Amino acid sequence: ERLAVALCRMRGAALKIGQMLSIQDENLIPPQIQQVLERVRHGADAMPRSQLEEQLSANLDDGWMDRLEDFEWEPMAAASIGQVHKAKLRECGTPVCLKVQYPGVADSISSDVDNLMRLVRTTSLLPKGLYVENAVEVAKKELALECDYNYEAKAQLRYRDLVAGEDSLFVPDVHLPLCGRRVLCTHFVEGIPLDEVSSLSQDHRDHLGRLILEVTLKELFVWRFMQTDPNWSNFLYDPQKRRLNLIDFGAAKEYPKRFVDNYLANVHACVHRDREGVIEQGKRLGFLTGDETRVMLDAHCEAGFAVGIPFAQEGDFDFGQAKGRLTTKVSEKAPTLVKHRLTPPPEEAYSLHRKLSGAFLACIKLKAKVPCRQLFLDLYDSYDWGAQEDAQEEVEVES
């Protein structure tokens, strides 16, 4: 109960730590903590109107209300670090959403996370070998960035440009005159959240599953710019247009070219059950040191092979029949990985694996049938290996 109360009070910090820990393997987090985190997700309290007005006035220019009409003071959504209000632009009538951050969240990240971890440790519920300290430091940096709505505005505009030529993907525009460090104004977009699409036809669910997996692969291996928060409410499906609308880019992250090159080679090795390739890329990426026991190397490879299953199967992969095949195989190796791991995962892995696992879980929930192997091999065959990195190195040498 003490833990639950503390988590509810800390909001953003609490949820971020929960995400960071759970992506290593959800089976390693005790049910008691999972239940508490779920309670916090649904327990965010809305700001009173006076506090909301203070936040808006402190972050926007004078006269901000004159630019809006039909502002709804009751939030349409409340989450871990802010709440969302609907309105219309007075000049053109365009529906917009204003995301307003809770006061004090950004300023208390470090202390809240540290206090939270001290409390968690007193419960003795977390297993050893999770390298929790590393996850905590990454969580602090990620949450600090997510609290900067100026960064999110730029990230959303960048992502909007990336999908501009995609018929089946859409990112709403940002209205910069009504944006600030703690307030973000974007155009409103309709859609059904992923956790509410199970009633759609198999054709729609297959199409949506393909879109989710395809955009996830493009984010990493083509754009190297990924929206890493797999929250299902960030994916809004429009069945009439057969289009996936994407929102919430506070967790968008760019990945280095060398890391992406090695990660693609690693996935390819996993797909083809290439043990030596998986071990070599594991060392290059920083998952392995080279001094691991055979037991650890076996577990590392088998876990990788399990994740590669969807991309190894010819034709459509049926995620509806795959839940046990994917999650059980990985979870069986988790205790060995935790016990024998010699180094924490590379920093990039926390956000990346959170998104990749979220994409797989979304396809499982949809019971989608997706041509995973075709999508992966088409991308792999057209991949530009190291070109940008080589060019950068040439510039550095010349200078």
Just list the catalytic residues: 229
Give CA angle at 193 (43, 312), nearest 5°: 115
Q: How far apart are CA 388 and CA 394, in angstroms?
A: 10
Give CA angle at 342 (33, 305), nearest 5°: 80
Residue with tokens 């349409």: 76
Q: Which residues contact 299 (CB under 8 A, 6 or more apart)?
A: 333, 336, 337, 340
* 372-375 contacts, C-beta under 8 A, 24 or more apart: 372/213, 372/310, 372/311, 372/313, 372/317, 373/271, 373/310, 373/311, 373/312, 373/313, 373/314, 373/315, 373/317, 375/210, 375/213, 375/214, 375/217
Q: How far apart are CA 7 and CA 12, in angstroms?
A: 9
Residue 233 vs residues 97, 175, 193, 360: alpha-carbon distances, Å: 15, 21, 5, 16
